[in-house]
Structures are given as structure tokens and as C-alpha cells.
Amino acid sequence: MAAIAHTDLDVFPLNLGGNTFGWTSDRSTSFAVLDAFTEAGGNFVDTADVYSAWGEGHSGGESETVLGEWLTARGTRDDVVVATKVGSLQQRRGLGRGNVVQALEDSLRRLGTDRVDLYYAHRDDESVPVAEQAATFDELVRSGKVRAVGLSNYGPERLREWFETAEREHLTVPVAIQPEYNLVSRRTHERDLAPIARQFGAAVFPYFGLASGFLTGKYRTAADLEGKVRGGAAGSHVNAQGLAVVDALVGVAEDRGVEPATVALAWLLAKGVTAPIASASRPEQVPALMAAPGLGLTGEEVEVLDRASQPFA
């Protein structure tokens, strides 16, 4: 388990992404994925109020609803660390105080719980001063409905401002950031965000740890992308530089007798990430994710992957 600094929360170092729940995974399949994850020792699930508003006929809240129904059906609420986010849902967009307060109530209702363990500002709202955002989230923590605060998709200047404001004004200091970070998306996090996280002792829970499935090694040509729900996102990486990373990834995976996805997530852990986020649309995909924390890449293997992914650093 990995401790989230400045909290009493301990999490398995693989954060299960809930964006598939109620979208590419129907209710029963989502339940099976969650069962497989927790039975293998997982306890940390990431969702957002906006998941999966992009799906046909969806309006958002589907993921939280499925997760809440599973928590109730299994009676596991006290055993699972639940993270969700506010700010991106069309009908609850932005980080004004009134909107955030009501959005939290909506999320609690869908999740069937009285508190969120880690509540993220999903993305910055530049129309709201950072000091006001920090005060709102501090209020939620003081209410007992939120245990800890995280920040996702913030630029370095306002990210730093939030940490500094919270410390100076004796408000709740964020304990985590959630950036995009993987072998084919390194530069922004490593250069701009990681130093801030280290300075303030914040955990790092990156999303797109597998680059929308590209780092599983299953997308090598345009034909591989046809008919895939996430093919568009993965397809942006199907080029010479991206495929060179996959080649290196597959080489390490074959040498170790594991899946490429396991190696891609293990690389993130070797880079100091607290728990990468990865999703599974089927329970059979879970073991490869759960194997990452125990793999332990060698320094030479990390160097091979670093070198292959240097164009993205």
C-alpha cells in the first residue's frame, strides 16, 4: 500500500479508472471489473461527475451511479477510497462556490455515500480566483463531506498558487495532483508539474497511464483502430516516434514475461508516481494492471524506455 501524505488514506499503487463504468462497460461488466480489482487487493477507484457525458444518450453521472450501486451491493464503502471530480459536467460546469457545493451533493447522491475521500477540481476555472477555489474546497473538508482535496489539469502557475495560498491562509492544502502522464506524454508533467508536487509533498495520480490503450501494444496500424471506441485518442500516437516506444515496451515485456500494459504502468511507478490510473473495460484486463506494482523494473529497463520515449520528454 502507498500512503497519501498528509492523510490517513492508504491506497494500492494502482488507481482503477471509472470512466468505462456505464459506458464501454455495462452495469454487470463494471461490477465484474470492480470485483476483480478489489479481490486482487485494489482499493482505490477514480471517477468524475462528467463520466460518461460523451457517450451517446448519456448526460454524465453514469460512472458515479454504477460505482455507487456496486458499493451498496457489496457493502464495501469503508474499504474503498473513492475519488471523484467537479467542474467539467455541462450542467455543473466551473468552480464557483455554489456550483461546487451543489455538484458535491449530486455526486454524494449518485455514489450513495456521505463523503468523498478525494475530491478533485477537475480543471481550472480561470473566472474564479484561486483563493476563492481554495476557500470553497476547504469549506467542504470542514463540513466532513470531503476528506482530502486534489487538483487535475491545472497549469503550473495556478497550481503553485493554490498550494501557496492554502498554506498561507491556513486552508486545506491539496494532497494530490492528477496530470496526464505516460511514456508518450512526458514533457509537461516532468518539466512543469512534478517539481511542484515534490515541493508540497503531493501524491501524483496520472491519468491516461496507458495513453488510451496505445501502450497496451494492440494499436500498430490504422486498421487496428477501426471500430474502436477509443481508437481516435490512441490513433494520435500511431506514428514513427510512438511506435518506437511501443517496440521498446514490448521488448521489455517479452523479456519479463508480462503484458506491455504492466510495463508501461511500472515505468510510471519507477518515475515516482504514487498510483497511476488505468481503466479496464473487462475483468480479464485487470490482472495486467494489478501486476504493475510488483514488477519492479531494473535501472537498465527504465533507461531503455526513457531513451525510446525521449522525443516526448
pLDDT band (50, 70, 90) for residue 218:
confident
Q: Which range (74-83, 206-215, 217-226) has the least confidence?
A: 217-226
What is the per-residue pLDDT for 147? 98
Given a cut of 80, is residue 245 above it in pLDDT? yes
What is the per-residue pLDDT for 231? 53
Q: Distance between CA atoms of 235 and 225, rounded to whole angstroms? A: 7
Residue bearing cell 448519456: 58
Given a cut of 60, is residue 85 above it in pLDDT? yes
Closest Cα partner for 38 from 65, 7, 16? 16
Range 288-311 average pLDDT: 98
Q: Distance between CA atoms of 175 and 161, rounded to whole angstroms? A: 14
Percent residues over pLDDT 70 in the chain: 96
**Catalytic annotation, residues:** 51
What is the per-residue pLDDT for 223? 60
Given a cut of 60, is residue 161 above it in pLDDT? yes
What is the per-residue pLDDT for 238? 86
Range 250-269 average pLDDT: 98
Q: Which DSSP string corresponds to the chain?
A: -EE-TTSS-EE-SSEEE-TTBTTTB-HHHHHHHHHHHHHTT--EEE--TTTTTTSTT--S-HHHHHHHHHHHHHT-GGGSEEEEEEB-SGGGBS--HHHHHHHHHHHHHHHTSS-EEEEEE-S--TTS-HHHHHHHHHHHHHHTSEEEEEEES--HHHHHHHHHHHHHTTPPPP-EEE-B-BTTB-HHIIIIIHHHHHHHT-EE--B-TTTTTGGGT---SHHHHTT-TTHHHHHTT-SHHHHHHHHHHHHHHHHHTS-HHHHHHHHHHHTT-S--EE--SSGGGHHHHHTHHHH---HHHHHHHHHHTGGG-
Q: Cα-flanking dihedrals φ and ψ of residue 242, to 5°?
A: -65, -40
Given a cut of 80, is residue 219 above it in pLDDT? no
Nearest 5°: the CA angle 182, 103, 193 is 25
What is the per-residue pLDDT for 60? 95
pTM of the model: 0.95
What is the per-residue pLDDT for 192? 98
Indicate the pairing of strand 277-278 with strand 81-86. unpaired
Average per-residue pLDDT in the chain? 95
Given a cut of 60, is residue 15 above it in pLDDT? yes
User: In this structure, how many other beta carbons lie within 10 angstroms of the beta carbon of residue 10?
Assistant: 12
